[in-house]
Structure 1
Amino acid sequence: MADIDQLLERARQGNEEAFGALVLRYQDRIYGLCYRLTGNQEDAEDLAQEVFVRAYRSLRKFRAEADFGTYLHRIAVNLFLNQRRKNHCQFLSLDNPVSTPDGELSWQVADNNQNHPQDELERQELALLVRRALNSISREHRAVLVLREMEEMSYEEMAAVLKLAPGTVKSRLNRARAALQKALLKLSREVGLELLPGEGKVNALPRGEKLDLGK
């Protein structure tokens, strides 16, 4: 932490090398957040770049009362929420891997039974539906789900990023889960995939990303 404080102090004084070191320290983490928020590589790269541009411009206003990583998360989420929503839905091919900060991942659902190709296809379809459902809900709801379920932040950390009371964060998260479940059920009916509401855990995102719709 001491070296971060030193880099911040030097960066505030106009030392571009120090700020470059901060970018290197946080760029993977911020890009990962931006990718989960936007759902695609191109928009994630643009958003992450803008995060660091905004951070550099406002660096003199930053006070070390909050963690610098939390400050960058706050900028990323605010920029994402303020962006104009695109008017088209993103469709991904089940035959192609998904590019992520950790490499390429195939859409899949964790399961102990790997012997039935039809079951595997249905799990892949569910994974795609969850991502489409996540992209279809409001940006405010998507942001809290990403911070809680993918970034694994505590309510207190989310409150710091969103500048909301922890109780408000919990309420928004509950509404976000309900909105995602509603969207998922609607999409599943459209493609003829049967889902039971209130089943609990829906582990249908790329490996390592889980959403619990039952809480």
Structure 2
Amino acid sequence: MNFVETRLAKLARNGDRRAFSELVDLYKDKIYHLAYRMLHNVQEAEDVVQETFLRVYTNLNRYDETQKFSTWIYRIGTNLCIDRLRKRKASYSLDAEVNDSEGSDWYSMLASNDRTPEGELLLSETQEQVRRAIDSLPEKYKSAVILRYLHDMSLQEISEVLDMPVTTVKTRVHRGREYLRERLEKESVL
């Protein structure tokens, strides 16, 4: 797939709009899910997708064909999300978190073998506790944990996306996981 993406990027760089459209089709959902998991806001996630592809299009000449295209586009999307999180922190409001029931997220899609109403309620409560725990992660751990466990990226891929050494990524994933474990134990989920 890397070869196909590199070829599409080359064609798009030379003005082939269909090739760029194919890149958009390949990545729009992936970037949306990344953004939604980091921002928990449908509108902001959609904005990040648009801004990511705008940046990809305007910077195709800067894409290094020796690198994976997926790493490059994930780095752009992740950085845009981190920028939004930083801006949001400055204008944080307690009321903003109250109504967070926009659309469905990945937690609501977790499979359950237990179809009893009690089982459904327990699963729903557990999913909500896990979502809150991930939301509460310090910013420096949040992106590494999301990319590792929700996007199933390797430590090397995360290192390339976040532009930091693999050892730093490994530490952040480990500390983020420990933070989640402690937080969930306090809420007695585990």
TM range (shorter): 0.7 to 0.9
Partner amino acid for 2:11?
A: R
* Identical-residue share of aligned pairs (%): 35
Hey, what's the Cα distance between the residues in 1 that align with 2:49 and 2:66? 23
- State the Cα distance separating 1:173 from its structure 2 match: 0.7
Hey, what's the Cα distance between the residues in 1 that align with 2:136 and 2:98? 10
**Cα pair 1:55 1:72 within 8 Å, conserved:** yes
More helix by share: 2
| Aligned-partner SS, 1:65 | coil
More strand by share: 1
Instruction: Give 2:13's aligned residue.
Output: 12
Hey, what's the Cα distance between the residues in 2 that align with 1:109 and 1:185? 22
Cα 1:106/1:8, change in 2 over 3 Å: closer
Cα 1:113/1:18, change in 2 over 3 Å: closer
Instruction: Give 1:178's aligned residue.
Output: 178
For residues 27-75 of structure 1, the C-alpha deviation after alignment (integer angstroms, 9 at most, x for no partner) is 1222222222222322211111111111112111111121111111111
Cα 1:36/1:90, change in 2 over 3 Å: farther
**Cα pair 2:6 2:69 within 8 Å, conserved:** no
Instruction: Give 1:77's aligned residue.
Output: 78
For residues 144-177 of structure 1, the C-alpha deviation after alignment (integer angstroms, 9 at most, x for no partner) is 1111111111111111111222221110111112
Consecutive unaligned residues of structure 1, counting only runs of 5 or more, are 189-194, 200-215
Cα 1:36/1:62, change in 2 over 3 Å: same
| Aligned-partner SS, 2:104 | strand
Consecutive unaligned residues of structure 2, counting only runs of 5 or more, are none
What is the number of equivalent residue pairs in this alignment?
Answer: 182
Cα 1:90/1:152, change in 2 over 3 Å: farther
Taking structure 1 as the reference length, the TM-score comes to 0.72
Q: Does 1:99 align with 2:104?
A: yes
- State the Cα distance separating 1:11 from its structure 2 match: 1.8
Taking structure 2 as the reference length, the TM-score comes to 0.80
Hey, what's the Cα distance between the residues in 2 that align with 1:92 and 1:8? 37
Partner amino acid for 1:164?
A: M
**Cα pair 1:108 1:124 within 8 Å, conserved:** no
- State the Cα distance separating 1:119 from its structure 2 match: 4.9
**Cα pair 1:41 1:99 within 8 Å, conserved:** no
Hey, what's the Cα distance between the residues in 2 that align with 1:135 and 1:90? 13
**Cα pair 2:133 2:183 within 8 Å, conserved:** yes
Instruction: Give 2:155's aligned residue.
Output: 155
